[in-house]
């Protein structure tokens, strides 16, 4: 047993060292720095709760960043969850070439953030972009997209559909794990296609939907790369996402203490929303073999 324990800790040691040095250490450091004035080039100075007071009562950009991020999340999360589910349903059908289709739909998810942002800057260009050229063919004059205060967030919401491949794969695995005898029993009872979908597919997929919602909330509140590359918060702070504002404070204006306080505010917002979703799951998530009530 002692030899097995030694072997376990030896194999786990790289992860443990990474956790302590690269994750847990910076988390503790950011918590301490959130109570300081730390302009990076000089030693931090303890100022107590002043960063949090400024963040909550004096900094209007904090609320603008939260508004922008929340608006994006309200639009992007339901859209991504729904479209990924519909694509997974299609790719679960016994059709010819389904493996190729699965690969095509998943490929965009493996491309990193900056190239994707540059690609969408070209697609959404109001003068020569692919999307507006397509709309002109239909007789529609497209908006300014990233250059419009009204359309910049819808642009990012539309762009969020690019990487639904990860969600789709998780949905697809869940769909393939649904026992076939449930559909057969429902069909014998006279259930049609929609009834089988609503009373068999959706309940059996509810744990997967729950997981994807939680992960999408965490991911969407931390959107950064597209805003940093494509708009840098403009026009007129209309795309000033919270993490972009945090980044500007930390690495552009060298307010590392204030940025740490912003990071902890974001942490508690995500934590609160995640707990709300988990708490609500008992009303709509079905686990096989578990009785309600």
Q: Tens digit of pLDDT for each residue in 259-290?
A: 999 999 999 999 999 999 999 999 999 887 66
Structure tokens at 127: 């003068």
Give the Cα-Cα-Cα angle 113, 115, 117 (nearest 5 degrees): 65
The DSSP 8-state label assigned to residue 57 in this structure reads: I
Report percent pLDDT > 70 for the chain.
98
Give the count of beta carbons closer than 10 Å to the beta carbon of residue 94: 5
Give the count of beta carbons closer than 10 Å to the beta carbon of residue 121: 18
- Judged by DSSP in three states, 46 sits in strand
pLDDT of residue 220: 95
pLDDT band for 113, please (50, 70, 90 cuts): confident
- Judged by DSSP in three states, 93 sits in coil
Cis peptide leading into 134, omega within 30 of 0? no
Phi, psi of 37 (to 5 degrees): -100, 110
> What separation in angstroms does the CA of 233 have from each of 55, 59, 114, 279, 288?
18, 16, 16, 34, 45
CB under 8 Å, gap of 24 or more: what pairs does 189-197 form?
none
Phi, psi of 46 (to 5 degrees): -70, 125
Q: 270: Cβ–Cβ under 8 A, 6 or more apart, which residues?
A: 217, 218, 221, 222
Find residue 37's DSSP bridge partners: 45
Mean pLDDT over all residues of the chain?
93
Terminal-to-terminal C-alpha distance of the chain: 43
How does DSSP assign 16-33, residue by residue?
HHHIIIIIIHHHHHHHHH
How confident is the model over 145-204, as pLDDT tens digits?
999 999 999 999 999 999 899 999 999 999 999 999 999 999 999 999 999 999 999 999
Q: Is the pLDDT of residue 292 over 80?
A: no
| Domain residue ranges in the chain | 59-284
The third-level CATH classification (topology) of the domain covering 59-284 is MetI-like fold (1.10.3720)
């Amino acid at each position: 047993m002692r030899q097995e324990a030694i072997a376990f800790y030896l194999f786990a040691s790289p992860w443990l060292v990474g956790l302590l040095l690269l994750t847990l250490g910076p988390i503790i450091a950011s918590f301490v720095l959130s109570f300081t004035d730390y302009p990076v080039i000089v030693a931090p100075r303890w100022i107590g709760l002043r960063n949090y007071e400024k963040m909550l009562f004096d900094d209007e950009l904090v609320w603008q960043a939260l508004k922008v991020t929340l608006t994006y999340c309200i639009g992007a999360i339901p859209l991504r969850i729904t479209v990924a589910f519909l694509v997974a349903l299609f790719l679960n059908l016994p059709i010819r070439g389904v493996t190729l289709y699965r690969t095509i739909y998943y490929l965009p998810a493996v491309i990193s953030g900056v190239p994707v942002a540059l690609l969408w800057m070209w697609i959404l260009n109001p003068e020569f972009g692919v999307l507006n050229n397509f709309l002109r063919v239909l007789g529609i004059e497209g908006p300014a997209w990233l250059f419009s205060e009204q359309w910049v967030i819808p642009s990012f919401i539309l762009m969020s559909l690019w990487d639904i491949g990860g969600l789709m794969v998780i949905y697809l695995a869940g769909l393939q794990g649904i026992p076939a005898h449930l559909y057969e029993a429902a069909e014998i009872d006279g259930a049609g296609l929609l009834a089988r979908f609503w009373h068999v597919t959706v309940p059996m997929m509810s744990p997967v939907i729950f997981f994807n919602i939680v992960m999408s909330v965490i991911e969407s509140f931390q959107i950064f790369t597209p805003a940093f590359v494509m708009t840098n918060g403009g026009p007129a702070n209309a795309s000033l996402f919270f993490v972009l504002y945090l980044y500007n404070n930390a690495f552009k204006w060298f307010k590392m203490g204030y940025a740490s306080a912003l990071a902890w505010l974001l942490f508690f917002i995500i934590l609160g929303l995640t707990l709300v979703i988990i708490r609500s799951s008992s009303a709509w998530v079905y686990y096989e073999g578990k009785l309600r009530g």
